[in-house]
Amino acid sequence: MKVAGKHTRSIWVEADGVTVGVIDQTVLPHRFATIRLETLDDAARAIVSMQVRGAPLIGATAAYGICLALRADASDESLERAYAVLRATRPTAINLKWALDEMMAAVRNRPREERVAAAYRRAAEICDEDVAINQAIGGHGLALIEKIAVTKNPRERVNVLTHCNAGWLATVDVGTALAPVYAAHDAGIPLHVWVDETRPRNQGASLTAWELGQHGVPHTVIPDNTGGHLMQHGEVDIAIVGTDRVAANGDVANKIGTYLKALAAKDNNVPFYVALPSPTIDFTVKDGVADIPIEQRSGDEVATMSGKTSDSRIETVRIVPDGSAVANYGFDVTPARLVTGLITERGVVAPSREALAKAFPERSDAAE
């Protein structure tokens, strides 16, 4: 997608052919800065600190983390260690494990001298596949938005609500939940996005709003607790969110607060869609609510807030009394019964065990 009019992916190999560039998402929207990853530890740190985040981008960064580790040492021990270090960075997004397994399959049985080149090749393919998948998701989601648009008068906007950031910053390019939004906007459909701020890290307010703005998509940032009110008053035509892991039964893990939006959508007959690339499906988890691991992060993310002061300094302030306990659950799981459909690269799939297995038999069979 575009940054200041220039096409940019969220991850790339630098001109030296080995080090890896990423956008530092912790300083957006106030500053656009890139970082160069040179080692396995750089890649792991970027994921843990959330300089890179979003399930598909975490996977792509981990893939390049394997490349960087093998560059330093192409032995079996180094490969195993890199897998373990990267696997431990974040627990909920299954794309991380998927990408690491893909990398292992690409290099493990090769002689040492071939491993580095094979790893860079597979990491690049993972990135290109992500972009192609997201373009397909955009096409299938566009059809849903078009159906809503034809029910409106031509100047009326289609109102989409989204949570967190499942745009191009969360993927290699294009995005998942925002792919249909960009496709509809580019097709000339009048459209407006309600952007949940997404406390505590504010990925909606800082990242989704920024990338929609860069692409010229009309949007409004709302506090997280506003969506229900808007739905009651007919101000939301469709909710589209991303996901970090979809269980075999169609339950969906996504950023904390997604479940509440799905409940409100159900109560107000607002269609609630989840967009995902197939590497986000975890057929080994049979029941998402019971068994998807939920990341718990530092309480500091809840107790403090960062932002730009009127004289353009970035400052962090505390908003919770000293001594109050805080809890920081990173994700929640929306039960399949609240999900209208899963927008995948193979079309819109019902959130059920049968439909998922039918749409992705090769993945489902491999998990048996």
**From 255, 261, 282, 302, residue interacting with ligand MRU (rule: CB under 6 A):** 255
Tell me the per-residue interface mask from 276 to 315 with ligand MRU, x by CB under 6 A, - otherwise.
Answer: ----------------------------------------
Q: How many CA atoms lie within 13 A of 270 on its CB side?
A: 27
Nearest residue (CB) to ligand MRU, 70 versus 169: 169
142 is a contact residue toward ligand MRU (CB under 6 A): no
Amino acid occupying residue 39: T
Interface stretch with ligand MRU, choices 47-55, 70-78, 119-127, 306-314 (CB under 6 A): 47-55
For residue 346, the minimal CB distance to ligand MRU (Å) is: 17
Comparing every residue's Cβ against ligand MRU, the nearest one is: 242
Nearest residue (CB) to ligand MRU, 46 versus 106: 46
Nearest residue (CB) to ligand MRU, 15 versus 327: 327
**From 11, 23, 107, 164, residue interacting with ligand MRU (rule: CB under 6 A):** 164
Interface stretch with ligand MRU, choices 2-10, 52-60, 79-87, 300-308 (CB under 6 A): 52-60
For residue 74, the minimal CB distance to ligand MRU (Å) is: 30
Interface stretch with ligand MRU, choices 48-56, 111-119, 212-220, 341-349 (CB under 6 A): 48-56
Q: Which of 241, 255, 199, 259 has its CA nearest to residue 223?
A: 199
Tell me the per-residue interface mask from 327 to 356 with ligand MRU, x by CB under 6 A, - otherwise.
Answer: ---x--------------------------
Tell me the per-residue interface mask from 54 to 73 with ligand MRU, x by CB under 6 A, - otherwise.
Answer: xxx-----------------
51 is a contact residue toward ligand MRU (CB under 6 A): no
Find the catalytic residue in 130, 237, 244, 332: 244
Q: Which of 94, 98, 100, 96 has its CA nearest to residue 81?
A: 100
* 3-class SS letters over the chain: CEECCEECCCEEECCCCCCEEEECCCCCCCCCCEEEECCHHHHHHHHHCCCCCCHHHHHHHHHHHHHHHHHHCCCHHHHHHHHHHHHCCCCCCCHHHHHHHHHHHHHCCCCHHHHHHHHHHHHHHHHHHHHHHHHHHHHHHHHHHHHHHCCCCCCCCEEEEECCCCCHHHCCCCCCCCHHHHHHHHCCCCEEEEEECCCCCCHHHHHHHHHHHHHCCCEEEECHHHHHHHHHCCCCCEEEECCCEEECCCCEEEECCHHHHHHHHHHCCCCEEEECCHHHEECCCCCHHHHCCCCECCCHHHHEEEEECCCCCEEEEECCCCCCCCCCECEEEECHHHCCEEEECCEEECCCHHHHHHHCHHHHHHHC
244: annotated active-site residue:
yes
**From 180, 200, 242, 351, residue interacting with ligand MRU (rule: CB under 6 A):** 242
244 is a contact residue toward ligand MRU (CB under 6 A): yes
Nearest residue (CB) to ligand MRU, 200 versus 230: 200
By the criterion CB under 6 A, which residues form the site for ligand MRU? Answer: 53-56, 93, 164, 166, 170-171, 176, 203, 242-244, 254-255, 330
Active site residues: 244
